[in-house]
């Protein structure tokens, strides 16, 4: 971690090589996060491009070198949420989900669909916890809230996800 | 409790294929775009240093103007005019100049290593010279920067001091083989030179090519029309004097004496000012480029788009909105050691200050987008002026509504604190509805 923190400090000072190295270290996670939100390769790649751009321009706002990655993922989540809002794709997917009805064994597709119908915060929390494998403590830092709150949200998110997957659309009609 | 869901979520993106090449390309493109922005920023700084008067550049929002039928006719008969139109679409005056055949074709070019640099044409008046140029290359290029540009006289007469705007560099992700832009030069003394030489350094793929092109202006330069006003105007009890209006083919210069001694506010910037003729046609401020320049502490020139090629029977100046702050509040004082704002105009519009290296960043949450570099003179605790090498405006990452205004002061250190920053723009206005007869 120490070596990475030095990279972050160098990058903040304007060292382009350090910056690119850092992005290299985080690129897979960035991509996966983007993909989990945006759900297609092309848009996820575009998201990585935009986030690299924003990160470079705002690198001076990194407060704590140890949390560079969470800072970066945070930018990605914000960007992805904005994109989703622009497209209102969520509505469309809800329709599809309704058609599918209930199935005992959830396919990947269904899981992805269900994810995308969740509220913003639940989606964020699940992304950080399960796709990024982040600890509750780190999620709390990323989202700037107490750990207890993260736990509550996480439970809510999982419950919402289960309801979407199992309920006969129950939640969906609300 | 949620083991099944957790398991599924964990597996969901574990097995996906990551398109590594495309991913690297995306990262590189994002990085390149950002570093290009940084270079552009420093180039803008260079323009500022080229200026003799304290001119202020405002690269405003790109406003397009509908093309008149006469103009459409005009460009349809001359090949190659379309690209020129794109460059002046935001300025009624320059479009009128072209429409009235005041554009002069030049067509001088030089080719080096597969790159051809051409001066296509010019619009010149006593005060300014606009050179339209294009760069054509054999292979597709993603980036071409114009580095230093020097304009010299080949006549016996010398060129006066000038300020220049060098346009935007070529930047295209897909690559392009041609790029058109313009240089704008504005002179302190009337332009009398006819024969010029321009030296342009282009940076292409890390390599520098210098092009040297002589050219000559043959068209007769139209004389400016001057309206002397010497009219005192009062808005919200604050007085200023409109001394004269110079109408040049390229732009209009409105001379204003600001800040009468009995004013309680310091007038900063005229937001709402325009010319209007008897038909109600209006001529606004320059949209992209030099919007005003300070001649002295209390005298300023405001530039408007030109109506030179119209002959209105009546002409009025309308003024309705001026940025202003109380005289004793026209600066912000920051304790850089403790990152504290010690003094600012009332209303506490600045919500925070911070210091990052040699940069002071002040943030504000304006009601409307306010994209002006707020400061241009900065002093240390002894009153000594400190050079600003870069100013920046950016939206805060945490909160899009917060705008951060940065000034870079090389050599900034604790000894200098507190630092005083004089405001040249500020989101507080005096408003009125003044209509002054010009003609």
- Helical (H) or strand (E) element with B87: helix B81-88
Residue A117 has pLDDT above 70, yes or no: yes
Q: Do B16 and A111 touch (CB under 8 A)?
A: no
- pLDDT higher for B222 or A36? B222
pLDDT at B225: 95
Q: Do B10 and A45 touch (CB under 8 A)?
A: no
Scan for tokens 């397009």, then name that residue.
B64
Q: Residue B383 maps to which CATH number? A: 2.60.40
Question: With contact defined as beta carbons under 8 Å apart, do A45 and A30 qualify?
Answer: no
Q: How far apart are CA B165 and CA B128, in angstroms?
A: 11
The candidate with the shortest Cα–Cα distance to B194, out of B166, B152, B224, B252, is B152
Summary mean pLDDT of chain B: 83
Nearest chain A CA: its distance from B205 CA (Å): 18
Check if B400 contacts A (Cβ < 8 Å): no
What is the average pLDDT across A140-147?
A: 82
Tell me the chain A residues in contact with residue B394 when contact means C-beta distances shorter than 8 Å. 57-58
Binned at pLDDT 50, 70 and 90, residue B51 comes out as very low
Check if B399 contacts A (Cβ < 8 Å): no
Q: Is the pTM of this model over 0.90?
A: no
The candidate with the shortest Cα–Cα distance to B238, out of B345, B322, B308, is B322
Domain match, A93 and A83 both: no
As a whole number of Å, the CA-based R_g of chain A is: 17
**CB-based contacts of A20: which residues, under 8 Å, 6+ apart?**
B27, B31
Q: How far apart are CA A18 and CA B302, in angstroms?
A: 45
Scan for tokens 């007869």, then name that residue.
B437
Check if B37 contacts A (Cβ < 8 Å): yes
Domain match, B194 and B259 both: no
**CB-based contacts of B86: which residues, under 8 Å, 6+ apart?**
B180
* DSSP per-residue codes, B372-436: S--EEEEE-TTS-EE---EEEEEE-SS-TT-EEEEEE-TT--GGGPSEEEEES--S-EEEEEEEE
Q: Do A23 and B27 touch (CB under 8 A)?
A: yes
Domain match, A80 and A95 both: no
Check if B41 contacts A (Cβ < 8 Å): no
Check if A67 contacts B (Cβ < 8 Å): no
- Identify the domain boundary among A87, A108, A128: A87
Residue B431 has pLDDT above 90, yes or no: yes
Structure confidence by residue, pLDDT tens digits, B233-276: 999 999 999 999 999 999 999 999 987 889 999 998 888 899 99
Q: Which domain holds residue B387?
A: 330-423
Q: In what order do the strands lie in the sheet with B350-356?
A: B350-356, B359-364, B403-408, B390-395
Residues of chain B with pLDDT > 70, as a percent, come to: 87
- Identify the domain boundary among A27, A54, A87: A87
Among partner residues B5, B19, B356, which is closest to A161 by beta-carbon distance?
B5
Q: In what order do the strands lie in the sheet with B375-379?
A: B340-343, B331-335, B419-423, B375-379, B385-386
Contacts of range B20-24, beta carbons closer than 8 Å, 24 or more positions apart: B22/A41, B22/A45, B23/A27, B23/A28, B23/A31, B23/A45, B23/A48, B24/A27
Question: With contact defined as beta carbons under 8 Å apart, do B328 and B265 qualify?
Answer: no
Domain match, A75 and A112 both: no
Tell me the chain A residues in contact with residue B399 when contact means C-beta distances shorter than 8 Å. none
As a whole number of Å, the CA-based R_g of chain B is: 25
Q: Do A158 and B5 touch (CB under 8 A)?
A: yes
Binned at pLDDT 50, 70 and 90, residue B55 comes out as very low
Check if B351 contacts A (Cβ < 8 Å): no
The candidate with the shortest Cα–Cα distance to B430, out of B333, B346, B319, is B319
Q: Which domain holds residue A15?
A: 1-87
Domain match, B160 and B81 both: no
- Helical (H) or strand (E) element with B315: strand B315-326
Is B344 a domain residue? yes
Instruction: Look at chain A and report how many structural domains it folds into.
Output: 2
pLDDT at B327: 92
- pLDDT higher for A120 or B221? B221
Domain match, A47 and A111 both: no
Domain match, A44 and A71 both: yes
- Identify the domain boundary among B323, B348, B364: B323
Instruction: Look at chain B and report how many structural domains it folds into.
Output: 3
Q: Do B13 and A131 touch (CB under 8 A)?
A: yes
Summary mean pLDDT of chain A: 76
Q: How far apart are CA B41 and CA B168, in angstroms?
A: 11
Structure confidence by residue, pLDDT tens digits, B371-397: 777 887 899 999 988 887 777 777 776
ipTM for the complex shown:
0.73
pLDDT at A126: 84
Q: How far apart are CA B416 and CA A126, in angstroms?
A: 49
Question: With contact defined as beta carbons under 8 Å apart, do A121 and A153 qualify?
Answer: yes
Instruction: Name which of A69-73, A101-105, B389-393 the model is least confident about.
Output: A101-105
């Amino acid at each position: 971690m120490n070596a990475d923190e030095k990279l972050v400090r160098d990058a903040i000072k304007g060292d382009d090589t350090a910056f690119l190295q850092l992005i290299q270290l985080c690129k897979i996670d960035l991509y996966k996060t983007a993909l989990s939100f945006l759900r297609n390769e092309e848009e996820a790649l575009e998201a990585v491009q935009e986030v690299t751009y924003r990160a470079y321009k705002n690198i001076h706002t990194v407060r704590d070198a140890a949390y560079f990655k969470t800072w970066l993922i945070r930018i990605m989540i914000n960007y992805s949420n904005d994109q989703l809002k622009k497209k209102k794709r969520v509505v469309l997917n809800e329709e599809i989900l309704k058609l599918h009805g209930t199935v005992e064994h959830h396919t990947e597709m269904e899981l992805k669909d269900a994810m995308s119908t969740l509220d913003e915060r639940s989606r964020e929390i699940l992304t950080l916890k399960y796709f990024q494998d982040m600890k509750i403590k780190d999620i709390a830092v990323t989202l700037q809230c107490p750990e207890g709150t993260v736990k509550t949200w996480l439970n809510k998110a999982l419950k919402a996800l289960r309801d979407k997957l199992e309920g006969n659309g129950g939640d969906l009609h609300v | 409790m949620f083991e099944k869901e957790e398991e599924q979520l964990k597996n969901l993106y574990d097995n996906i294929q990551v398109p590594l090449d495309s991913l690297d390309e995306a990262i590189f493109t994002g990085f390149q775009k950002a570093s290009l922005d940084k270079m552009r920023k420093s180039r803008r700084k260079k323009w500022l240093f080229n200026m003799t008067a304290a001119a202020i550049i405002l690269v405003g929002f790109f406003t397009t103007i509908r093309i008149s039928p006469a103009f459409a006719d005009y460009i349809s008969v001359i090949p190659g005019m379309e690209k020129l139109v794109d460059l002046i679409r935001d300025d009624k005056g320059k479009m009128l100049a072209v429409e009235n055949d005041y554009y002069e074709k030049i067509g001088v070019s030089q080719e080096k290593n597969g790159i051809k640099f051409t001066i296509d044409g010019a619009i010149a008046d006593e005060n300014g010279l606009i050179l339209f140029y294009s760069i054509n290359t054999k292979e597709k290029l993603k980036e071409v920067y114009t580095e230093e540009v020097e304009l010299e006289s080949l006549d016996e007469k010398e060129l006066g001091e000038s300020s220049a705007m060098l346009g935007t560099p070529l930047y295209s992700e897909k690559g392009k083989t041609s790029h058109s832009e313009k240089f704008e030069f504005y002179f302190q003394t009337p332009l009398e030179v006819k024969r010029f030489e321009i030296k342009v350094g282009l940076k292409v793929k890390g390599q520098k090519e210098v092009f040297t092109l002589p050219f000559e202006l043959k068209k007769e330069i139209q004389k400016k029309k001057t309206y002397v006003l010497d009219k005192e105007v009062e808005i919200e009890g604050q007085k200023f004097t409109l001394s004269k209006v110079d109408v040049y083919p390229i732009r209009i210069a409105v001379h204003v004496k600001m800040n009468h001694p009995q004013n309680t506010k310091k007038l900063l910037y005229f937001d709402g000012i325009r010319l209007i003729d008897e038909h109600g046609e209006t001529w606004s401020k320059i949209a992209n480029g030099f919007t005003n320049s300070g001649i002295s502490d209390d005298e300023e020139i405001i530039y408007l788009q030109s109506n030179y090629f119209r002959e209105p029977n009546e002409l009025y100046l309308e003024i309705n909105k001026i940025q202003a702050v109380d005289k004793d509040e026209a600066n912000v004082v920051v304790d850089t050691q403790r990152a504290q704002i010690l003094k600012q105009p009332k209303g506490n519009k600045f919500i925070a200050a911070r210091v990052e290296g040699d940069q002071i960043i002040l943030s504000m949450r304006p009601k409307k987008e306010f994209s002006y570099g707020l400061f241009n003179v900065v002093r240390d605790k002894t009153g000594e002026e400190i050079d600003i090498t870069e100013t920046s405006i950016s939206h805060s990452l945490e909160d899009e509504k917060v705008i951060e205004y940065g000034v870079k002061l090389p050599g900034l250190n604790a000894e200098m604190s507190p630092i005083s920053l004089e405001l040249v723009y500020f989101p507080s206005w005096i408003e009125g509805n003044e209509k002054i007869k010009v003609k």
